[in-house]
Amino acid sequence: MPRDKSSWQPLQRRQKAVKQNKGPIPLPTEKGYQQDNAISTTLQQSLLNVFRDACNKGSPAEIEDILQEVKGHLFNRDFATAFGKEDYLEAYAARWSPSRALGYAQIFSDLSPEIADLLYRKPSANKETNNDGSALSEQLEKQLTLEITTDSSKPLSILCLGGGAGAEVVGLAGWFRYLRDNTPSADDEPQPNISKLDIHGVDVASWDKVMHDLHQGVITPPFLSNYASAAAKAANKAVLPSEVFSTRFKQQDLLDTDAAGIKNLIADSDIVTIMFTLNELYSASVAKTQRLLYALTAHMRPGSLLLVVDSPGSYSTVTLNGASQKYPMQWLLDHTLLSPKKDSEKGAPNQWQKLLSDESRWFRLPDEDLKYPIDLENMRYQIHLYQRHDDTKIEVEEKQE
């Protein structure tokens, strides 16, 4: 039965963000990034409509009462209770996931060139090396030349660790819709050539129903009044057609999952995301979180991407030699992924390459009115993008030197 929408009002206009400089590689400061607002307000509203119809059960007053209970449990760090009831999960997703979904859609739009590079395929060469090195030079030239030969029939597979609340699902759907609606010109940066998107969410709480409802919201046209005009009905379409968008969810405690379990989760994932989750994992157990990251290093396929987004200024306490000290989350992450292992051969390359790192950015909502029954918020975040080294590329670079 359709819910009463009479209480929905446009959000108040927000002050326009100060224009900032943007460099080729953003420095660890907010001044290094300028939001380009690639995701249109119309598309953003479509994403909000998904949450509106899927998660806002009951009147705004009823939702607010539930949210107060959830906030109380979160404040007391009683996460088992905060995420232990279906109405709590729906209220949490209705309150905090929509703003993040809009931010995630923008983040993936920003990272489209890196994802396009991920989907490029390099031709293999099997020629023997001549004594004069001529064949080797030809081989190196071919291997170092990127050719756009993407197999677009294969889905882009994204594993979202801690992604149960649905922000990743709806945000990625928005980014995919943006790609489908916009054909880049010759002067634009390369865009991923994707025909299907497969998202696998993993979380410790039972988000199955929320994920299912949001998936249905993405592939189903939003509710329209019987009095809507013929033009409105004709324009009323789902964010994505069902045949190009699939989601799965698995309830699992990542910190209690061994390396074999992580390997099974990763499977053939092209991208692994840890969005506003890593610092919580570090807070629970630094040792187990490091073990998780080592497992990702061991089992993510060469060339795949690891994207970490979290609150800026996140610190975790580490005990070394009996003394406790706080370290920035970014330092812990780099120390685990980028530091050479003691048992590695001398001069062996790192397993990861950091493509992007920024300690603080803002995603700011547009000036245009967006309608949603709960207040939306700008999102401040830190972002770090790593690529698992392609062993073939490393070998070629070493030969070239």
Q: Phi then psi for 115, rounded to 5 degrees?
A: -70, -35
User: Is the pTM here over 0.75, yes or no?
Assistant: yes
pLDDT number for residue 129: 39
Examine residue 172 and state whether it is found in any structural domain, yes or no. Answer: yes
| CATH code, domain carrying 319 | 3.40.50.150
Residue pair 307/270 in contact (Cβ under 8 Å)? The answer is no
Length of the chain: 401
In this structure, how many other beta carbons lie within 10 angstroms of the beta carbon of residue 108?
Answer: 26
Domains identified in the chain, total number: 1
Examine residue 5 and state whether it is found in any structural domain, yes or no. Answer: no
From residue 8, alpha-carbon distances to 17, 62, 218, 242, 353 in Å are 25, 14, 21, 29, 46
CA-based R_g, the chain, Å: 23
pLDDT number for residue 313: 84
From residue 280, alpha-carbon distances to 255, 311, 390, 401 in Å are 11, 10, 30, 42
pLDDT tens for the chain, 401 residues: list them. Answer: 444 433 344 444 334 343 343 433 444 445 568 788 889 999 999 999 999 999 987 778 888 899 999 999 988 888 889 999 999 999 999 999 999 999 999 999 999 999 999 987 533 333 343 444 444 444 444 344 333 344 555 789 999 999 999 999 999 999 999 999 987 766 677 788 899 999 999 999 999 999 999 999 999 998 878 888 888 888 888 999 999 999 999 999 999 999 999 999 998 899 999 999 999 999 889 999 999 999 999 999 999 999 999 999 877 766 656 677 888 899 999 999 997 655 444 555 689 999 999 999 999 999 878 999 999 999 999 999 999 987 544 443 444 44
pLDDT number for residue 340: 64
Domain containing residue 334: 30-400
Examine residue 22 and state whether it is found in any structural domain, yes or no. Answer: no
pLDDT number for residue 348: 54
In this structure, how many other beta carbons lie within 10 angstroms of the beta carbon of residue 283?
Answer: 15
Residue pair 153/199 in contact (Cβ under 8 Å)? The answer is no
Contacts 24+ apart (CB under 8 A), 66-69: 66/91, 67/91, 67/92, 67/95
Examine residue 15 and state whether it is found in any structural domain, yes or no. Answer: no
Examine residue 14 and state whether it is found in any structural domain, yes or no. Answer: no
Examine residue 95 and state whether it is found in any structural domain, yes or no. Answer: yes
From residue 356, alpha-carbon distances to 151, 243, 332 in Å are 26, 33, 16
